[in-house]
Structure 1
Amino acid sequence: LRLHYRNSLLGSKGASLPSDGSEGTVAPAGGGSAMMVLEALLRLRQASCHPGLIDSNRRGEPSAKLEALIEMVLELAEEGHKALIFSQFVEMLSIVRSRLEEHGIVYEYLDGQTRDRKRRVQRFQDDPDCPVFLISLKAGGLGLNLTAAEYVFILDPWWNPAVEQQAIDRTHRIGQTRHVFAYRMICQDTVEQRIAELQDRKRQLADAIVGGDQSPLRNLSRDDLERLLS
């Protein structure tokens, strides 16, 4: 998949990508290439999580990230700990739900369509038999008090640290007396790792890739794109 997008984007005649090794940009007037770049990076980010986000027929397949998560969650649940699991992709949360159900793990769930948030939060907080709360990163970052959780998993990192911190802070509220452990799950040698490296150098550009904003992508150089797709 990465090779496909690398050949497609770096070989695109419509993009302003110089062949002489100079910096250049990938977005011509009108933003057509910016849309192509965003689509490619979205698909690669989804593939880093699970192949089922690309092809619904592959929902039942394993992925390195999913297997690592489930292994840790099962161990935590057995030891009596509680965990929050955040993802930007509702479909990824759905896949995790299916795996939790296979293992008989009780959970609560919240995304942008959830109406009875208070009841779900209360159950997670008070029910010792409900060790997991699955939450859409955007929907669950604010206004929740989830001090029962000792572990937080960010499945597909949001490259603006403030958004992630808001999610993690749901556990750091008045009444929290325990240490909280937060994990950002980044797949090695994938576009996730490349974006993390880009973030260190160009924060606005990294935020645009995840947030879907085309404007900053006009400053995406050929070198940046080659690194993302390497």
Structure 2
Amino acid sequence: MLDEAQAIKNPGAKQTKSVKRLKAETRIALTGTPIENRLGDLWSIFDFINPGLLGSSKEFSAFVKRLADRPHNPYGPLRELVRPYILRRLKTDKSIIADLPDKTEVKTFCPLSRKQAALYQQAVAELAGHLEEVNGIKRRGIVLALLMRLKQICNHPSQWLGDGAWNEEDSGKLVRLRDIAEVVAARQEKALIFTQFKETTAPLVAFLGSVFGRPGLVLHGETEVKKRKDLVRQFQEDEDVPFFVLSVKAGGTGLNLTAASHVIHFDRWWNPAVENQATDRAFRIGQTKNVLVHKFVCRGTVEEKIDHMIESKKQLAGDFLSGGADILLTEMKDEELLRLVTLDLGAAMKEGNE
């Protein structure tokens, strides 16, 4: 039996190949996210539990492509094919869990500081120049690097510049984080703060420590595995620990952190399944408090535009299991890509969270 079976979504990975060599009379896969990015994730899991049911990877890809062209209920035939092999349970189903409290998700819109806006516009201008000169794999690399750079600038100029300053006034996200943290502190509640960047965890811990007036905890990919249980136990049991900063990749699965009633996504993973798994560190069986989830979005930037895409991407798993679109930004035409990343300066400098 596999737990967290999405770990074998990549059929070419060494761990996937090793798992599929295991001998067993019966195979069971447990996962909350059978589809993280594309329907091929589902094929890899089924290749483990019922090899041959969905054909070869190449046959499955061709089948899914044909289904996508159907005008109505495109993925219905695939859904019917796998239905007998899937037992789906939702925490929101009161017949399954009657006493789980509510979860409320809100978008927390953040303005850009002048420094952020200037760096952002400079990055987009550089991209526009590069796109005229490159193509193929080199273009793909430049686009991915640009998207990462824009994410870093939206978090804080110091993350991109590497100057170590991390001044609060230079980042709209830090200003908004203070607003939320002060409310959490006044209520004597606890918060989880997720970021995809290891280099962001230490500045966030220092900043939040100054807001709460007490130190919190941090967990990222370099945190020793043997220490992680102790960190979880400390957060769960020690009332004087007000917050926990975690990198999404290291702390987004497998941890029980129900002492928190606030979850803050400081930056976005751009994958709903990964974000939901991180949120579910707090919103899970055993939680007794309502959970408020804040998803930070910088107005007028690529963050806001991709946030709209995330909403549509949720349908890939949701519609299929109850398929969808996987937008490959690197495959956009130049003009489409530039429209996506170009800064709306008026929106970016707008104060308020309405």
Post-superposition offset of 1:112: 0.9
| Among candidates 152, 157, 160, match of residue 51 of structure 1 | 157
Partner-residue secondary structure (3-state), 2:178:
helix
How do 1:84-163 and structure 2 match up within 5 A?
84-103=192-211, 104-115=213-224, 116-163=227-274
Post-superposition offset of 1:194: 2.2
Post-superposition offset of 1:8: 2.7
Cα–Cα, structure 1 residues 204 and 146, in superposed 2: closer, same or farther, change >3 Å? same
Name the aligned partner's letter for residue 160 of structure 2: I
Structure with bigger RCO (C-alpha 8 Å, 6+ apart): 1
Partner-residue secondary structure (3-state), 1:67:
helix
Partner Cα distance (1:3, 1:51) in 2: 13
Name the aligned partner's letter for residue 174 of structure 2: L
Q: Percent identity?
A: 38
The yes-or-no answer on 1:195 pairing with 2:277 is: no
Cα–Cα, structure 1 residues 159 and 60, in superposed 2: closer, same or farther, change >3 Å? closer
Name the aligned partner's letter for residue 114 of structure 1: T
Q: 1:117-136, CA deviations, whole angstroms, 9 ceiling, x for partnerless residues?
A: 00000010011111101100
Moved more, 104-113 or 147-156: 104-113
Q: Which residue of 2 aligns with 1:204?
A: 326
Partner-residue secondary structure (3-state), 1:71:
helix
TM-score (norm 2): 0.55
Query: Considering only aligned residues, what root-mean-square deviation do their CA atoms show, in Å?
Result: 1.9
Name the aligned partner's letter for residue 7 of structure 1: A
Structure with greater Cα Rg:
2
Partner Cα distance (1:174, 1:3) in 2: 45
| Among candidates 337, 346, 351, match of residue 225 of structure 1 | 337
Name the aligned partner's letter for residue 229 of structure 2: K
Partner-residue secondary structure (3-state), 1:10:
helix
Q: Which residue of 2 aligns with 1:6?
A: 124
Moved more, 138-147 or 2-11: 2-11
Moved more, 154-163 or 90-99: 90-99
Q: 1:172-227, CA deviations, whole angstroms, 9 ceiling, x for partnerless residues?
A: 2222121111110111112211222344567523xx56xxxxxxx2x211232122
Partner-residue secondary structure (3-state), 1:204:
coil
Q: Which residue of 2 aligns with 1:64?
A: 172
Q: Is the 8 A contact 2:205 2:215 kept in 1?
A: no
Partner-residue secondary structure (3-state), 1:85:
strand
Moved more, 190-199 or 86-95: 190-199
Post-superposition offset of 1:75: 2.2
Partner Cα distance (1:171, 1:200) in 2: 22
Partner Cα distance (1:132, 1:143) in 2: 18
Question: Runs of 5+ in structure 2 lacking a partner?
Answer: 1-118, 314-324, 343-354
Partner-residue secondary structure (3-state), 1:152:
strand
Partner Cα distance (1:178, 1:199) in 2: 27
Question: Runs of 5+ in structure 1 lacking a partner?
Answer: 16-27, 210-216
Q: Is the 8 A contact 1:59 1:95 kept in 2?
A: no
Partner Cα distance (1:223, 1:89) in 2: 29
Name the aligned partner's letter for residue 228 of structure 1: L
TM-score (norm 1): 0.83
Partner-residue secondary structure (3-state), 2:241:
coil
Q: Which residue of 2 aligns with 1:22?
A: none
